[in-house]
C-alpha cells in the first residue's frame, strides 16, 4: 500500500470544512446508496450556484436596505415553474426621514415607500405582490392594496405588481385606467403601455375587451346581459360602462 505524503495526511481533511466538500459529504452520508462521487460533485455545484444567485453580496447593502427574494417578473405566481430573483430594496431612506422632519405624515411617507418598493423590484427583474409588500412593511395585504390604489390615484399612474402584470387577484382597476388613457384621452397605445408598465399586447387586449363590452352595451345596456355574453365579471363590465358613458362627453 502506497503511503500518503505527510502534507496530504495533515491537511486533506481540512477541505471538508468548505462549502462544496461539505455538501458532497452530506449526500455521501445521508444518501450513501443514491449518489456516486460524480453526481455528488454535480449536485454540489448546482446548489452553490443556486445559493450564489439568491444571496447577493451583503457588503454592498446600505443602511435601510434589505434583500428580498422576489418573483421573476416574467413568471406567474401560480406557475408550476416559478422563478425568483434577489432584489435590493430601500425600505427606509434619508429622504423618508427628511419628509417626516418637514411634517409629512407617516402615512404619506409609507405610501411613497410602498411605491418605491414596487418600482425597485421591477427595475431589478422582479415583481412584488401585495402580500410581499405587506410582509416587508408588516401590514395586512388588504391595507397595502388600499395604499397602492390611493397612491396610483393621487399620482395618475399604475405601479408594477403581480395583480397588474399577471392579471392575478382582484386587480381590475388597472384595465379601466388603460382603456381610459387610450380611449378617452386618446393616447397612443404604445405610450400607454410604457406609462403603466404593460406590454403592448396587453394594452391591445384590454382595448379589444372594452370594445366588446361597448358593442354589447349598445345592443343591451344591462350589465348582467353584458357579463353573460362577454364572459367578463360584472365588476369589470360596470367599470367599462362608466368609461362608455364618459367617452363622448
Q: Write the pLDDT tens digit of every residue in 89-142.
A: 999 999 999 999 999 999 999 999 999 999 999 999 999 988 999 999 999 888
Q: Which has more pLDDT, 56 or 244?
A: 244
**Domain ranges across the chain:** 59-157, 172-249
Contact 114, 89 (CB under 8 A): no
pLDDT over 50 (residue 223):
yes
Rounded distance, CA 39 to CA 44, Å? 8
On the 0-12 / 13-18 / 19+ scale of CB atoms within 10 A, 92 is: middle
Q: Is the pTM of this model over 0.75?
A: no
Candidates 117, 119, 126, 166; CA nearest to 144 is 117
Q: What is the model's pLDDT at position 92?
A: 94
Contact 75, 162 (CB under 8 A): no
Q: How far apart are CA 190 and CA 22, in angstroms?
A: 52
* DSSP code at position 17: G
Torsion, Cα 76 144 58 122, to 10 degrees, reads: 40
- Nearest to 90, CA basis, from 137, 129, 51, 135: 137
Q: Is 171 a residue whose pLDDT tops 60?
A: no
Cα–Cα distance, 16 to 9 (Å, whole number) = 13
Query: Do 186 and 180 form a contact (C-beta atoms < 8 A)?
Result: no
Can you give the pLDDT at residue 88? 93
Q: What is the pLDDT of residues 4-57, one digit of tens each?
A: 777 767 777 676 678 888 888 888 888 888 888 888 899 999 998 888 777 777
* Main-chain dihedrals φ then ψ at residue 134, nearest 5 degrees: -65, -40
β-strand 84-90 against 126-127: which pairing, if any?
A: unpaired
Q: Report the sign of the C-alpha dihedral through residues 190, 196, 199, 201, in that order.
A: negative
Burial class (CB in 10 A: 0-12, 13-18, 19+), 210: buried
- In this predicted structure, the answer to whether residue 70 has a pLDDT above a threshold of 60 is yes
Amino acid at each position: 500500500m502506497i503511503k500518503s505524503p505527510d502534507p496530504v495526511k495533515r491537511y486533506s481533511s481540512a477541505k471538508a470544512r468548505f462549502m462544496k466538500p461539505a455538501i458532497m459529504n452530506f449526500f455521501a452520508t445521508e444518501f450513501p446508496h443514491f449518489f456516486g462521487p460524480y453526481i455528488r460533485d454535480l449536485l454540489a455545484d448546482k446548489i452553490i450556484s443556486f445559493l450564489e444567485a439568491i444571496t447577493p453580496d451583503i457588503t454592498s447593502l446600505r443602511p435601510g436596505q434589505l434583500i428580498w427574494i422576489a418573483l421573476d417578473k416574467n413568471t406567474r405566481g401560480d406557475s408550476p415553474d416559478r422563478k425568483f430573483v434577489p432584489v435590493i430594496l430601500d425600505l427606509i431612506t434619508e429622504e423618508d426621514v427628511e419628509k417626516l422632519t418637514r411634517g409629512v405624515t407617516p402615512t404619506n411617507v409609507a405610501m411613497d415607500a410602498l411605491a418605491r418598493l414596487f418600482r425597485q423590484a421591477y427595475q431589478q427583474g422582479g415583481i412584488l405582490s401585495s402580500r410581499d409588500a405587506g410582509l416587508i412593511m408588516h401590514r395586512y395585504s388588504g391595507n397595502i392594496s388600499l395604499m397602492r390604489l390611493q397612491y396610483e390615484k393621487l399620482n395618475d399612474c399604475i405601479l408594477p405588481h403581480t395583480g397588474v402584470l399577471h392579471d392575478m387577484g382582484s386587480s381590475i382597476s388597472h384595465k379601466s385606467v388603460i382603456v381610459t388613457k387610450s380611449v378617452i384621452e386618446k393616447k397612443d397605445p404604445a405610450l400607454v403601455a410604457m406609462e403603466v408598465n404593460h406590454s403592448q399586447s396587453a394594452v391591445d387586449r384590454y382595448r379589444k375587451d372594452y370594445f366588446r363590452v361597448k358593442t354589447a352595451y349598445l345592443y343591451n345596456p344591462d350589465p348582467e346581459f353584458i357579463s353573460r355574453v362577454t364572459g367578463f365579471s360584472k365588476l369589470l363590465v360596470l367599470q367599462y360602462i362608466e368609461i362608455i358613458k364618459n367617452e363622448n362627453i
